[in-house]
Amino acid sequence: MITGTTKLIAHLGYPTESFKAPLIYNPYFDANGIDAVVVPMGCKPQDYPSFLKLVFRLSNIHGALITMPHKIATMSLLDEASTSAKVAGSCNAVRLDQNGRLIGDMFDGEGFVRGVLRKGREVAGTSVLIVGAGGVGSAIAASLAKAGVRRLAIFDPDQATMTGLRDRLRQYYPNVEIAVGSADPSGQDIVVNATPLGMKKGDPLPMDVSLIAPSTFVGEVVMKEEITPFLQAARARGCAFQVGTDMLFEQIPAYLEFFDFPTTTAENLRKIAKLT
């Protein structure tokens, strides 16, 4: 029940009809007696800079989840951003510190990395290919660099997007080898599809799956269906893999920690979520 003591988490984006976070967080809060609620708030881009500042003036605001189309715009509105947010160039979580400053972080990539680690795979010291250097690809690259990968290979058809991510990674993680321009998965320990390919029937695969070794771990970000054509092809080669929704559920414990709530596991969240 929402009362005058309930901590408010604003879910900011536009439009709101497809928002899934309230269907995961709120059942978790209810099941664990946490006096908090996630509320979708549809804010159009032209109103967002002023609205973000205003919403954090509410006396019962505890934080905000940021989604499209505001993740990039949020960066210029923060007083402090994490290294992951700076590398990604975007932010999906904001809270106030004890001095009233807006603090932002990015957890899309954290969810991906936590999922890989929970499946028993090593991340530190590995070589990784990420196809897609947009918002989610940049976030995954940032978290993989933070987790200690040895080498990141990045491919995106947009040259400026690809080289921009390369430059930010080199600035903040100079010890990680960064290569760009090839989607060849040969010799990689981990490969990731961070593109929308797989959302539409008939989409081409993001890379030549015949070149992926059976020992390679394969990651997917597309959530339209659990086993995308890319994952079907990787599974046929004997690869271990991670489905797109794993990234969603694995990042929520990181959000809970950021907002100083009791945390949980992705498995528990899947059990209590009300997505259907």
Positions marked catalytic: 71
Q: Which of 66, 42, 120, 124 is nearest to 258 (CA)?
A: 66
In terms of Cβ atoms closer than 10 Å to its own Cβ (0-12, 13-18, 19+), residue 129 is buried
In whole angstroms, what is the distance from residue 272 CA to residue 21 CA?
A: 13
Q: Which of 60, 62, 90 is nearest to 78 (CA)?
A: 90
Strands (E) located in the chain = 7-13, 36-42, 61-66, 80-81, 93-96, 102-105, 127-131, 151-155, 177-180, 190-193, 217-220, 241-242
In whole angstroms, what is the distance from residue 93 CA to residue 102 CA?
A: 10
In whole angstroms, what is the distance from residue 205 CA to residue 220 CA?
A: 11
Q: Locate tokens 């414990």: which residue?
A: 253
In whole angstroms, what is the distance from residue 273 CA to residue 181 CA?
A: 40
Q: Do 153 and 182 touch, CB atoms closer than 8 A? A: yes
In whole angstroms, what is the distance from residue 191 CA to residue 136 CA?
A: 14
Neighbours of 56 (CB within 10 A): 19
Q: Do 131 and 194 touch, CB atoms closer than 8 A? A: yes
